[in-house]
A and B are shown apart, each in its own frame.
Chain A
């Protein structure tokens, strides 16, 4: 019985340590997207190169697609840009750019300067379309499957690990690592 008096606080302590070990390693600022597992929100925006042309949800169907939310004023976007260029060189999957609350000319110049990995760029000048997609920070990246369902969303710059372990497997229809 004596032993129990010492064991119970120890057990509680170990339980607390386990709880904190899991909880404190997560980033509380990340907001999971409610769209994962659901059809992608409405997309109907003019393109960067030709405002008369539009990008719509129909154009996303058929094969897994990456939608990358970016802006020329976003510093973190430059971090992930080389990875996007590499992805587009490998022709792994089409990458649609989603230019968020930006100036068209600035966006064009940014792409000229840093490279253009996008098969097409949709322009959301006032951010309304971004709200439809639950965008709250830049950069963000959505992975859609061939049916247009949101399979994965990443907030913040992409990393090689995320691409290798989550995006590429999911795009191939495999389980993420």
Chain B
């Protein structure tokens, strides 16, 4: 049992080095905070569902290095984002910008949900306000006669003939 624990521990410990990535030395917590913010706001173009912060792709590493160097050089957050957008287009923004072009993307689901809710409400309302069919006097008399066996039961298509 102890050997098993030892083997598992060694395996887990050595696996930690499989993901060794260059570590950046930040001069201040604020700088590190900006770095984390920027790398999570930019998309990795290789693994396109991940941000630069999460991706292990080579290009992501290169771009993280570029961001770090620009932070050190005193560039503002907006300047660094512009640097990426100028080269890769707006797709590099992990959070799509809100502009007339992306209006459908941001508001589409909500709009469709509201549309569906409205249609549903109208359908329910219609069913509630539709007057239920009340039989008139003639129909009531005919029903009486049918019940007493005086009139043949007509138009009763649901009963199968014996």
Residues of chain A having any CB pair with chain B under 8 Å = 28-29, 31-35, 41, 101, 126-128, 131-134, 136-137
Give the number of chain B interface residues (Cβ < 8 Å): 15
Which residues of chain B have C-beta atoms less than 8 A from A41's C-beta?
Answer: 87
The residues of B that contact A127 with a CB separation of less than 8 Å are 58-59, 62
**A38: nearest chain-B partner, CB-CB:** B86
- The prevalent SS among residues of A at the interface is loop
Q: Does B113 contact A (CB under 8 A)?
A: no
Nearest residue (CB) in A for B91 is A31
A26 to B129, CA, bound (A): 48
| Residues of chain A with a CB closer than 8 A to B48's CB | 28-29
CB proximity of B72 to chain A, nearest CB, Å: 15
Given known pairs A34-B88, A34-B89, A131-B87, the reply for A136 and B66 (CB within 8 Å) is no
Within 8 A of A (CB), among B73-108: 85-89, 91-92
A-B contact pairs, 18 of them (CB 8 A): A29-B48, A31-B88, A35-B87, A41-B87, A101-B58, A126-B62, A127-B62, A128-B66, A131-B62, A131-B63, A131-B87, A132-B87, A134-B88, A134-B89, A136-B46, A136-B59, A136-B88, A137-B45
Closest approach, in angstroms, between the C-beta of A55 and any C-beta of chain B? Answer: 19
CB distance from A7 to the nearest CB of B (A): 16
Among B62, B87, B92, which residue has its beta carbon within 8 angstroms of that of A133? B87
B residues sitting closer than 8 Å to A (CB atoms) are: 45-46, 48, 58-59, 62-63, 66, 85-89, 91-92
7 shortest interchain CB distances as A-B pairs: A136-B45, A134-B87, A34-B89, A127-B62, A31-B91, A134-B88, A136-B59
Q: Which residues of B contact A32 (CB under 8 A)?
A: 89, 91
- Which A residues touch B63, using CB under 8 A? 131
In the assembly, what is the distance between CA of A32 and CA of B48, in Å? 14
Which of A28, A31, A132, A133 touches B45 (beta carbons < 8 Å)? A31
Output the least CB separation between B104 and chain A (Å): 11
When the two chains form their complex, are residues A137 and B89 in contact, meaning their CB atoms are under 8 A apart? no
Task: Please give me the residue from chain B that is nearest to A34 by CB atom.
Answer: B89
CB closest chain-A residue, reference B62: A127
Residue of A nearest to B61 (CB): A127
Given A131-B66, A136-B45, A137-B46, A34-B85 contact (CB < 8 Å): yes
